[in-house]
Amino acid sequence: MRDGTLEKMIGQLRAGDARAFDYIYEKTNRSVYFALLYILRDRMAAEDVLQETYVRAIRAIDSYTAGTNFPAWLTRIGKNLALNYRKRAAREVATDFETDAWKYGTQETEIPYIFDVATGILAEDEYEIVMLCHVSGYKRREVAAMLGMPVGTVTWKNNEALKKLRRHLQKEGDA
């Protein structure tokens, strides 16, 4: 993403100005969150890993190369943490006989049905584009800059993903 203000704020954060973090977080949290949600498929876990992502990024801010794609760098940190989280969770032995009951017990932790469908049938990049364009409200050119793709590619993937979702939901409605 070629955002001069973002790069300026990263420089200020490196210099020790903690106030710059607010701007950085506001500009980058949605794309990182949706990437984590795609991997983890659990909103609470994605939020936890999102926090850890920013903690790790602040600690390693000096390893970021200025002028490159900061959101991609940040998302890579998050994806690595999410994959580690999944591996760790797979090794844990459940002590509660209703291990999944908490996922669906309250409205706060319930993933809306369409998100479940989207994570199941869309590729990771399609899911991320749909979430950024339609849930977060970014324009396709902004999403293209965030993901380092041409605008035409983002538009095409967005349209194809929406067609997949529509076909799946229509097929389910007929059943």
112-140 confidence digits (pLDDT tens): 667 778 888 999 899 989 888 887 778 89
Distant-in-sequence, close-in-space partners of 170: CB < 8 Å, separation ≥ 6: none
Query: pLDDT-based confidence at 107, cuts 50/70/90?
Result: very low
Q: In percent, how much of the chain has pLDDT > 70?
A: 85
Give the whole-angstrom CA distance, residue 31 versus residue 146: 8
Instruction: Tell me what the pLDDT averaged over the chain comes to.
Output: 84
What pLDDT is recorded for position 112? 64
Q: Across the chain, how many H-helices and E-strands are there?
A: 9, 0
By mean pLDDT, which of 31-35, 40-44, 169-173 is the weakest?
169-173
Q: Which two tokens stand for residue 92?
A: 């844990």
Give the model confidence (pLDDT) of 39-81 as tens digits.
998 899 999 999 999 999 999 999 999 888 899 999 999 999 9
What pLDDT is recorded for position 93? 57
By mean pLDDT, which of 15-29, 107-121, 158-172 is the weakest?
107-121
How many of the other CB atoms lie within 10 Å of CB of 93? 4
Q: What is the average pLDDT across 102-114?
A: 50
| C-alpha distances in Å from residue 52, one per residue of 45, 119, 133, 155, 163 | 11, 22, 25, 32, 35
- Taking 60 as the threshold, does the pLDDT of residue 98 lie above it? no
Asked whether the beta carbons of 1 and 69 are under 8 A apart, the reply is yes
Q: Is 52 left (phi over 0), alpha (psi -120 to 50) or beta?
A: alpha
Distant-in-sequence, close-in-space partners of 172: CB < 8 Å, separation ≥ 6: none
In the chain, the domains with their CATH numbers are 1-110 (1.10.1740.10), 112-175 (1.10.10.10)
- Taking 50 as the threshold, does the pLDDT of residue 1 lie above it? no
